[in-house]
Amino acid sequence: MNHASSRRNWLCREIREKMEQEKMRLQKYMALCGIASRRTAEIMIRSGRVTVNGQLVSAMGCLVDGTETVVADGKKIEPETRKVYILLHKPEGYVCTVKDPQGRPTVMDLLGGLRERVYPVGRLDWDSSGLLLLTNDGELAHKLTHPRHEVSKCYIALVEGIPTGHVQNELRRGVLIEGRRTAPAEVWCTPLNGNAAEIEMIIHEGRNRQVRRMCELVGHPVRALKRIAIGGLSLGEIPEGEWRYATKEDLAMMLHQPDRESISKPGP
């Protein structure tokens, strides 16, 4: 047996021994297996797409210890033995899903040659670009997307018109979206030629199309939107449509809460 096979078997045993010591919720097990984030796993369960030992599970609360046969969307799932972290510079025109029922291009189409099964962490809208993390590490995905952890995300938005100081303060204080005020944001504005401006915004939430909706509500629709950082990790010099593996330093930076100086200037 070669070194890689030996290490893979050892990792598999370690994962199973850990799981057998304490039962865990089905959605957490699915995240550990690299199928999806916990939130997406919950949606799959509620949609009737998951069975445990041949029995359909459609409600939260099911516990597993790794000895069961778990099938999601017709495929048996098992714990991943190697964690993979991908940093992708998403272009406009791609959806952040593994598969799209409407047949649109997905970010998975940009990962040609990647053997490991990964999924997007969070999302960027079809018409937005920028930094996207893909992984099979359900625990890290949970930490990065759960509101409790308030991971910063920095965006650059090209908007119509030039926001006044009063408008910028509105964005900083938060605006009402569907009756709920957005959390305070950090905002900087640079006027451009042609009655337009560039807004740099740091938010700590992940509400649907949040930056676009915030800008539109204060009268400055977004023409283009790019995410340049997640936590302390910047997009850097990754070309649009390309990707690279994350380093250990990258992973540490993703959970670091930066100030504007460290988040607004992409690194090498």
Q: DSSP states of 181-198 as a string?
A: EPPP-EEEEEEETTTEEE
pLDDT given for residue 37 in this prediction: 79
The CATH number assigned to the domain with range 83-268 reads 3.30.2350.10
pLDDT tens, position by position, 199-215: 999 998 888 899 999 99
Q: What is the pTM of this model?
A: 0.70
Long-range residue pairs from 44-52, CB within 8 A, at least 24 positions apart, any chain: 44/72, 44/73, 49/73, 50/26, 52/26
Query: Please, is 67 exposed, middle or buried when counting C-beta atoms within 10 Å of its C-beta (0-12, 13-18, 19+)?
Result: exposed
**Domain limits, the chain:** 3-76, 83-268
C-alpha span between 44 and 42 (Å, rounded): 5
Tell me the CA distances in angstroms from 224 to 89, 121, 141, 156, one per residue in order. 15, 21, 26, 8
In the CATH scheme, what is the code of domain 3-76?
Answer: 3.10.290.10
Token pair 């017709």 in the structure block, residue? 74
Residue 63 phi, psi (nearest 5): -110, 140
Nearest of 87, 72, 3, 65 to residue 34 by alpha carbon: 72
Question: Catalytic annotation on 125?
Answer: yes
pLDDT digits (tens, 9 = 90+) for 84-110: 899 999 999 999 988 888 999 999 999
Kindly tell me if the per-residue pLDDT of 265 is higher than 60: no
> What pLDDT digit, counting tens, does each position of 9-43 carry?
544 555 555 544 568 889 888 887 877 778 888 99
Which residue out of 73, 100, 109, 125 is catalytically annotated? 125
For 123-160, the pLDDT digits (tens) are 899 999 999 999 888 778 877 777 677 788 999 999 99
Taking CA 100 as the corner, what is the angle to CA 59 and CA 88, rounded to the nearest 5 degrees?
100
